[in-house]
């Protein structure tokens, strides 16, 4: 019995994905589809020359908000449910290490969100096609914006997992959502910190660098205006999201390895 950890992480990830799908998480797509088609039809009728702008802005914002809510909701729900309902008992009495559970759970959740985003992206492009009748080259940047949105979900899911490793579901949701809001202004926060002095500066700078940086991951507005996104930004955003998510997972593992189950 010297199987690699991945031989347990992947089944756990897969099972998490299966749970999300069977728990009808993907039903949100129905609401999204209604929103997108409604917006497309409405905007198509007003026709004041900014149809594409509105569709991209609205579509990507909705993808982002839907996804964040779902990340937090299933990230916390699925983990605390395992602790609350004690399904973990029969899992952890098998040759499964706690860190394998955390990592597997994380991968499964991210997989679910990627699939969910994929369907929503189809909705956005469908609406785009409806109002513009054809795709143009700058529409490819919408894909980059969607990729950045997925990177946001990766971070949010990590945070949700981290909080639910030690806190109640409700508090975890509150923490994760507040950090999402604060993180949207992370760049301003670092600016604030730079303007302070003395010990405040140390604390403020520490906090500003610790909160997740969602500002750089939000390129919805420029992309809606057909502006390109630099390759460097794609590279560093990817690096940042992966690093930050790893950080949250390490934190979750450290706490969860020590935690007494209910």
Partner 1 sequence: MKRSQITMVAGSLLVLCLAASVLTLHRLDELRSHATLEEVLYVSSPQALKRISLGYSGLLADIYWTRAVQYFGSKHVQGAEDYKLLAPLLEITTTLDPKLLVAYEFGSNFLTAKPPQGAGMPDEAVALVKQGIRSNPNEWHLYYDLGFIYYLDLKDYRNAADAFARGSRLPDAHPFLKLMAALAAQKGGEAQMARMLWTTTFETTTNKDIKANAAAHLRALQVDDDVTNLEALQARYRDKTGHFAASFSELESAGMLRGSPRDPLGAPYKLAAEGKVEVTDPDDLPFIEKGLSIGYIPPPKPKILPVD
Partner 2 sequence: MLAIEILGLEKTYNVGFWGKTPKHALRPLHLNVEEGEIFGFLGPNGAGKTTTLKLLMGLVFPTSGTARILGMELDDPRMKAQIGFLPEQPYFYDYLTARELLEYYAQLSGVAAKERSRKADEVLAKVGLPNVAGLQLRKFSKGMLQRVGIAQAILHDPKLLFFDEPMSGLDPLGRRDVRDLMEQLKHEGKTVFFSTHILPDAEALCDRVAVIHDGELKGVGAVADLTSGVRGKVEIIWSGRIIPPAFKGLGADCHVTGDTVRAIVSEECQDAALDALRNAHLRLISLSPVRNSLEAYYVSKLQPGKAAAEVRP
Residues that bind partner 2 (CB under 8 A): 1, 3, 7-8, 11-12, 15, 18-19, 22-23, 85-97, 258, 260-261
Residue 180 binds: one of partner 1, partner 2, none (C-beta under 5 to 8 A by kind): none
- 121 within 8 A of 212, measured Cβ to Cβ: no
Q: Which is nearer to partner 1, 13 or 223 (CB)?
A: 223
Q: Please identify, using beta-carbon distances, which residue of 89 and 118 lies nearer to partner 2.
A: 89
Q: Are 25 and 17 in contact (CB under 8 A)?
A: no
Cβ closer to partner 2: 94 or 134? 94
Closest approach of partner 1 to the CB of residue 84, in Å: 24
Least distance (Å) between residue 12 CB and partner 2: 8
Does 225 bind partner 1 (CB under 8 A)? Our answer is yes
Nearer to partner 2, 232 or 260 (CB): 260
Judged by CB under 8 A, the residue of 29, 92, 207, 250 near partner 1 is: 250
HSE-up of 210 (CA within 13 Å, CB side)? Answer: 7
C-alpha to C-alpha distance for 105 and 34, rounded to whole angstroms: 30
**Residue 73 near residue 100, CB atoms below 8 Å:** no
Segment interacting with partner 1 (CB under 8 A) among 6-14, 74-82, 123-131, 210-218:
210-218
Question: Between the CA of residue 111 and those of 54, 118, 244, what are the distances in Å?
Answer: 29, 11, 18
Query: Which one of partner 2, partner 1, none interacts with residue 195, CB within 5 to 8 A by kind?
Result: partner 1
CA 208, chain centre distance (Å): 20
What's the min distance (Å) between Cβ of 164 and partner 2? 17
Residues 80-99 that bind partner 1 (CB under 8 A): 97, 99
Rule CB under 8 A: choose which of 132, 187, 207, 228 binds partner 1: 187
239 binds partner 1 (CB under 8 A): yes
Instruction: Give every CB contact of residue 16 below 8 A, 6+ residues apart in sequence.
Output: 78, 104, 105, 107, 108, 109, 111, 112
Q: Using CB under 8 A, which residues numbered 26 to 45 contact partner 1?
A: none
Give the one entry of partner 1, partner 2, none that residue 221 binds, where binding means its C-beta sits below a cut-off of 5 to 8 angstroms depending on kind. Answer: partner 1
For residue 102, what are its two tokens? 């955390």
Q: Which residues are at the interface with partner 1 (CB under 8 A)? A: 97, 99, 185, 187-188, 190-192, 194-195, 209, 213, 215-216, 221-222, 224-225, 230, 232-233, 236-237, 239-240, 243-244, 246-247, 250-251, 253-254, 257
């Amino acid at each position: 019995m010297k199987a690699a950890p991945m031989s347990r992480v992947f089944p756990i990830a897969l099972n998490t994905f299966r749970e999300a799908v069977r728990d009808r998480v993907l039903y949100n797509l129905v609401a999204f589809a209604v929103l997108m088609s409604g917006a497309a039809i409405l905007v198509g009728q007003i026709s004041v020359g900014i149809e594409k702008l509105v569709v991209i802005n609205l579509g990507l914002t909705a993808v982002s908000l839907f996804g964040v809510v779902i990340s937090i909701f299933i990230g916390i729900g699925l983990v605390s449910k395992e602790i609350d309902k004690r399904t973990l008992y029969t899992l952890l009495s098998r040759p499964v290490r706690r860190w394998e559970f955390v990592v597997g759970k994380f991968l499964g959740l991210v997989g679910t969100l990627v699939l969910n985003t994929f369907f929503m992206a189809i909705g956005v492009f469908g609406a785009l096609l409806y109002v513009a009748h054809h795709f143009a080259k700058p529409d490819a940047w919408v894909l980059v914006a969607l990729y950045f949105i997925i990177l946001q979900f990766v971070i949010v899911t990590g945070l949700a997992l981290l909080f639910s490793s030690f806190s109640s579901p409700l508090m975890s949701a509150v923490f994760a959502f507040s950090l999402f809001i604060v993180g949207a202004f992370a760049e301003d926060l670092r600016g604030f910190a730079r303007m302070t002095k003395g010990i405040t500066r140390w604390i403020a700078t520490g906090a500003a660098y610790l909160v997740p940086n969602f500002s750089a991951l939000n390129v919805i507005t420029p992309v809606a205006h057909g502006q390109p996104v630099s390759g460097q930004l794609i590279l560093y955003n990817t690096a940042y999201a992966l690093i930050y998510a790893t950080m949250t997972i390490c934190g979750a593992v450290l706490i969860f390895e020590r935690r007494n189950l209910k």
